A and B are shown apart, each in its own frame.
Chain A
Amino acid sequence: MVSANNELAYNTKIEGDIVVTRADAVINWLRSSSVWPMPMGLACCAIELMGVAAARFDIARFGAEVFRFSPRQADCMIVAGTVTYKMAPHVRRIYDQMAEPKWVIAMGACASSGGMYRSYATLQGVDQIVPVDVYISGCPPRPEALLDALMKLQSKIKKEPSSSALLTSA
């Protein structure tokens, strides 16, 4: 009697301990699923950032709950707040201390464009000193907006040519 093949999943007993896929897909899956944020909390947006990390919005659902206050251990700098000209060089230095690969989210109007601070003291957009991957509008943005930005960043990471970048880098 012939039994129906009900092996719907991958069976190591039959096929061995092998998965065939692309290196980019694996690397990007790993990277995008554990983006460790570096909270650059400079103003009120940082309060929303804390809200995102807490239970109600729970950034852990996206694998980004490991906030690291050392740039050496972080992947994604979330610039949350007003960047003054006095602070700007420090933001750049902390960005430089992060290990590759690294990403930047400009959270809120101030980090994106200077926001309502059209004044002598405020950097008019953090993209003047660090490369920004995702901008979030709002003053401050809702926590959902930051989660949306994180999902946008994840889909951006998933399109990166990671393996060729790894092979060509010295």
Chain B
Amino acid sequence: MTAPADVTAAFQAKFPQATSRPSGDHPAFNLPVAEVHAALKYLRDEAAHDFLVDVTAIDNGVDASPRFTVIWHVYSTTRHGYVRLAADCASDENPVAPTVSDLWPTANWHERETYDLLGVKFENHPDLRRILMWEGYPYHPLRKDFPLAGIQTPLPDIEVAELTKASVKPAPMAGGPFVASSGEMNLTDAEPRAKDESWTERHEKPAPTSE
């Protein structure tokens, strides 16, 4: 279910800078990053959208500007509707967004994940550390310029790295990422496999002939 029309109308009256965002499902708004905290506080306290569902971000591409868009989803447990807010980060190199962990404690880990994987810094976050990758990992893996296979870096533990001579290496892609075919009735065909099995690390992918 979507938010009642009066919620979206009241929201736009309260925040005139918010513009409607193209959306396939729920009401969505673009608004300046500086207004996000006040807008989410308004939605929580005055529009009964009391549940923060998700905080995430989008990397619009290496050359795009604005490159990073932070997304908030809120839900009303009493009126049963979702609202989505999106705000472009001002800087493409060091994207910054306000924390909402003071409004919803659950935002703490969501923001840590967004920081870890996309490198968006959340201002005034009480403890903005990486949450999935280890402390000291030099990259933000969900950025568009980060290859899926990874980049060679040392193991998180120096002692074990010296002992085993192992390091974080790019994974062998061997025909592209392994993906399962969902909806495949034959379970053998549904097994995760490379989409393009015509090339491996030993037999390079043929260069595209046209273009």
**Complex Cα–Cα for A88 and B150 (A):** 16
The verdict on A86 contacting B173 (CB below 8 Å), with A92-B160, A119-B150 known, is no
A contact residues around B163 at 8 Å (CB): 92
- Find out whether the CB atom of B146 lies under 8 angstroms from the CB atom of A120: yes
- Find out whether the CB atom of B192 lies under 8 angstroms from the CB atom of A120: no
**Complex Cα–Cα for A121 and B172 (A):** 13
Contact of B157 among A89, A115, A122 (CB under 8 A): A89
- Find out whether the CB atom of B156 lies under 8 angstroms from the CB atom of A118: no
Q: Number of residues in B with C-beta < 8 Å to the partner? A: 31
Number of A-B contacts (CB under 8 A): 70
Task: Mark out the residues of chain A between 109 and 154 whose CB falls within 8 Å of any chain B CB in the assembled complex.
Answer: 114-124, 128-130, 139
- Find out whether the CB atom of B141 lies under 8 angstroms from the CB atom of A120: yes
A contact residues around B132 at 8 Å (CB): 86, 121
**Complex Cα–Cα for A92 and B156 (A):** 12
Contact of B164 among A114, A119, A129, A139 (CB under 8 A): A129
Q: Does A10 contact B (CB under 8 A)?
A: no
A contact residues around B147 at 8 Å (CB): 120
- Find out whether the CB atom of B166 lies under 8 angstroms from the CB atom of A118: no
Task: Mark out the residues of chain B between 74 and 94 whose CB falls within 8 Å of any chain A CB in the assembled complex.
Answer: none
A45 to chain B, nearest CB (A): 15
B contact residues around A118 at 8 Å (CB): 148-149, 171-174, 177-178
Q: Is the interface of B mostly helix, strand, loop or mixed?
A: loop
Q: Is the interface of A mostly helix, strand, loop or mixed?
A: loop
**Complex Cα–Cα for A128 and B168 (A):** 10
**Complex Cα–Cα for A130 and B166 (A):** 10
B contact residues around A89 at 8 Å (CB): 155-157, 159-161
- Write the chain A residue with the least CB distance to B168: A85
B178 to chain A, nearest CB (A): 4
- Write the chain A residue with the least CB distance to B177: A118
Q: Does A72 contact B (CB under 8 A)?
A: no
The verdict on A129 contacting B149 (CB below 8 Å), with A93-B160, A121-B141 known, is no
The verdict on A86 contacting B156 (CB below 8 Å), with A118-B173, A118-B177 known, is yes
**Complex Cα–Cα for A152 and B180 (A):** 31
**Chain B interface (Cβ < 8 Å from any Cβ of A):** 132-134, 141, 146-151, 155-157, 159-161, 163-164, 166, 168-174, 177-178, 180, 191-192
- Return 27 A-B CB contacts under 8 Å, by A number: A85-B134, A85-B155, A86-B132, A86-B156, A89-B156, A89-B157, A89-B159, A89-B160, A93-B157, A116-B178, A116-B180, A118-B148, A118-B171, A118-B177, A119-B149, A119-B177, A120-B147, A120-B149, A120-B150, A120-B168, A121-B150, A124-B172, A128-B166, A129-B160, A129-B164, A129-B166, A139-B191
